[in-house]
Amino acid sequence: MQALRRDSGRARIAASVLALLTAVSIWLSAGTLATPDGDTGRIAVLPAIWILGVLAAIAVAAVEAARLRVEHAWPLSISLLIWLPFLPGSIPTAFFVWQGPFEALVWVLVAAGLLASRPPRLPAGLSDPARAPWLAAAIVAVASLIVFAQVRGVIPGGDEPHYLAATQSLLRDADLKVANNYAQGAYLDYFPGRLEPHYLVRGLGGEIYSVHAPGVSVIVLPAFAAAGYVGAVVTVVLIAAASAALAWLLAFRIARRDAASAWVGVAAVFFTVPYFFHTFAIYPEVIGGFCVLVGVWLLLELADGREASTRALLTAGAALAVLPWLHSRFAVLAGILGIIIAARLVTRARAGVLLGRFLAVPVIASVGWFAFFYLLWGSPSPMSPYGADTSTSASYMLRGLIGLLVDQQFGVLTTAPIYAVAAIGWIVLLRREPRLAIELLLLVVPYALTVASYAMWWAGSAAPARFLVAVLPVAALLIAVAFEKGAAPRRSAFVIVVLLASVALILPRAFIESGRFIINNRGAIDGTLSFLSGIVDLPFGLPSVHRDGGSVAVRDAAIWLSLLSIAAVLAAVAARRFVAAAWTVSALAFASAVTLAIGLVSGAHEIGTVTADRSKLAALATYRPAMHQTIVGIDARRRLTPEEFLGAMAVNISC
């Protein structure tokens, strides 16, 4: 008994030591750092020393009150990342990443780790397949509308107003001859600028028809008629919410009825940058993604051996029939899904009847689709609105695919690294249900190659990976499989760490400068990356196809993926021990991979990554004389006066 008490006492003392270290981290996090002379001459601006004493006392008291043992307190050590930029002596410039907005991620990982060390039971509503999909839909809808209200200054943009102009033409003139609507400035109700019709060739009789397919314009028409632009946005938001609900159900099924895995899959797609910022955009992608999910739903029903009801066949057929009307490129998705489902149906009894029910709506819709082009442009070809346009070519495919995957501005993996977990899920699914895994691959890969063949693979002025959004919900299923506890418990902590980092990348885009970072234009620098570090020139630490070309971007991406893979292996080894320790190793392994990757990629570009003037401006923006009373020249090893600090913050402005 006495030995047990000694062990308990030591565990409590160790937890108190971790709490004291965390108090120092909080104190450092409340300060700021400037590098007025580059990577030397660092100046730390910190709160008064007495504040550190108060924080230390509170931290120890909190450990005692919570009776926190060291096996549960290990996540507190993640906060030591915040110490890296303040270490004395010569330090790698990549350490500066952990000063500034990146600190928020550190505290999220600490808090999540403490919660994971004593995981609560999943509330009944979150694990009940009858209620959880509705909750997923509600969360997506509410989050999307909140962010939409924050970013009204930057949307609608890109092609969005042109879809709405066609809606107005249908409402006012009952036709798709949009020239008069543009001439009358009808779009001024929702777009504060001058627009010209989007067309490449005139239709029959010299009429101007929009080059954009009419499906989106028709679908948002009722709500637009009732509430204008906001009504159209709400329509897309509700379709995104319905997609989240359906994705939850499908992920729940494919992950062997594991509710936690379903939530991870839904969060990985619907609450990360590539998909989330399209939930309130007037584009075909979210609507197309819902139609794809409906097709995948029928595919899973057939894969499970269930009888295909007439209603299910007609519903899935109708969903696939809608796809080409949203955009001609979606005909690829409709065709592939149709063939895959038909291949399943032909093996059933009464195959001819089942196929007839499934294909009835698509056949009728396809006749109408080809007739649409013939009546407006005089040719049944879906390419007739584009004329002799040569913006699609197989020669663009490799560069486009690299960009859609790893470009820092528009790539799926760069803006949401959690998508890399989908590859693990696919391998697990291949072992378990090989035919289904191959069918999903056949759905995604040909479509990705198709959109990569566009010269403007980045989709112009749009949120990242717009052209891939229609197939991204499929990744929710694969990520759920990768997370499934019965299949791979050792991956859980690392997957959640990567998921939190991916979700966190939404926040600066959504809430900084009214959404200015959401939409990138073709360039070399991602605005979000520049914001995330006031000291390090972070864009040079990540791949950029526009800046460096495809081969260099692949090299940079390989560095990142290799280091993150090593981190994942370390996390898997640590998962054999306590949950809190596994979480801590996962978080620190992930952070180490990020730090090392930024350093190696920046070094490969031979770019000086420390931005002295920007660090000065960032330090001045956060400096509060009443609180920041401890000013230290780290390299000079002496305290500075406020006057000396302000003098060092002078910014060189050259004309």
Residue 390, pLDDT > 70, answer no
Give the pair of three-digit tokens for residue 27: 């104190």
What are the structure tokens assigned to 337, written together? 């899904």
pLDDT of residue 189: 87
Q: What is the mean pLDDT of the chain?
A: 90
Q: Over the stretch 19-28, which tens digit does the pLDDT of each residue have?
A: 999 999 999 9
Gap between the Cα atoms of 647 and 24, Å rounded: 27
* Residue 3: predicted pLDDT: 44
Using DSSP bridges, classify how beta strands 630-633 and 32-34 pair: parallel, antiparallel or unpaired: unpaired
114 has a pLDDT exceeding 50: yes
Q: For residue 393, count CB atoms less than 10 angstroms from its CB and return exposed for 0-12, middle for 13-18, buried for 19 or more.
A: exposed
Q: Give pLDDT, residue 60.
A: 87
> Is the confidence at residue 53, as pLDDT, over 50?
yes
pTM for the model stands at 0.93
Count CB atoms within 10 A of the CB of residue 319: 23
Are the CB atoms for 159 and 173 separated by under 8 Å? no
pLDDT over threshold 50, residue 351 = yes
Rounded (5°) CA angle 461-229-185:
80
How does residue 608 score in pLDDT terms, banded at 50, 70 and 90?
Answer: low
* Position 117 pLDDT exceeds 90: no
Of 116, 134, 117, give the one whose Cα is nearest residue 125: 134
Q: How high is the pLDDT of residue 37? A: 75
| Among 150-159, 214-223, 261-270, the least confident range | 150-159
**Residue 4: pLDDT over 60:** no
In this structure, which amino acid lies at residue 453?
S
Distance, CA of 402 to CA of 379 (rounded, Å): 34
* Mean pLDDT along residues 303-307: 91
Residue pair 240/144 in contact (Cβ under 8 Å)? The answer is: yes
- Under the banding of pLDDT at 50, 70 and 90, the label for residue 120 is low
- Across 298-311, b (16+ Cβ under 10 Å) vs e yields bbbbbbeeeebeee
CB 91 within 8 A of CB 35: no
DSSP state string for 118-153: SPPPPPHHHH-TTTHHHHHHHHHHHHHHHHHHH-TT
More confident site: 145 or 9: 145
Ranges 90-94, 490-494, 529-533, 556-560, most confident = 556-560
Residue 655 has pLDDT above 50, yes or no: no
Query: What ranges in 461-491 are assigned the alpha helix state H?
Result: 472-483
Look up residue 343 and give its two tokens. 């291949």
Are 543 and 557 within 8 A, CB to CB?
A: yes
Do 302 and 345 contact (CB within 8 A), yes or no?
Answer: yes
User: Is residue 1's pLDDT more than 70?
Assistant: no
DSSP state of 205: G
Q: Under DSSP, is residue 209 helix (H, G, I), strand (E, B) or coil? A: strand
Segment 356-379 shows an average pLDDT of: 95
The 10s digit of each residue's pLDDT in 247-286 is 999 999 999 999 999 999 999 999 999 999 999 999 999 9
C-alpha 524/C-alpha 83 separation (Å) is: 31
Residue 578 has pLDDT above 80, yes or no: no
105 has pLDDT over 70: yes
The whole-number pLDDT of residue 115 equals 85
Which band of pLDDT confidence, cut at 50, 70 and 90, is reported for residue 8?
Answer: low
Q: What is the DSSP string of 579-605?
A: HHHHHHHHHHHHHHHHHHHHHHHHHHT
Model confidence band, residue 391 (pLDDT cutoffs 50, 70, 90): confident
Q: Is the per-residue pLDDT at 487 higher than 60?
A: no
The answer to whether residue 65 scores a pLDDT higher than 60 is yes
Cβ contacts of residue 483 below 8 Å, gap of 6+? 255, 258, 260, 261, 264, 265, 421, 425, 491, 492, 495
Task: Report yes or no: 198 and 182 within 8 Å, Cβ to Cβ.
Answer: no
In the sheet with 43-46, reading across from the earlier edge strand, the strands are: 32-34, 43-46, 630-633, 638-639
The tens digit of pLDDT for each residue in 175-188 reads 999 999 899 998 88
Q: What average pLDDT does this structure show over 192-217?
A: 91
DSSP code of residue 348:
S
Report how far residue 28's alpha carbon sits from residue 281's, in angstroms, rounded to the nearest whole number: 40
Q: What is the pLDDT of residues 586-596, one digit of tens each?
A: 999 999 999 99
pLDDT per position as a tens digit, 611-641: 778 888 888 888 999 899 999 998 888 899 9
Q: Could you tell me if 297 and 309 are in contact, meaning their C-beta atoms sit under 8 angstroms apart?
A: no
Segment of 90-104, 310-324, 636-650 carrying the highest mean pLDDT: 310-324
CA 468 to chain centre: 12
Least confident range from 5-9, 617-621, 649-653: namely 5-9
3-state helix vs strand vs coil in the chain, percent to 5: 70, 5, 30
Question: How many Å apart are CA 573 and CA 58, to the nearest integer?
Answer: 34
Categorize the per-residue pLDDT at 39 as very low, low, confident or very high, splitting at 50, 70 and 90: low
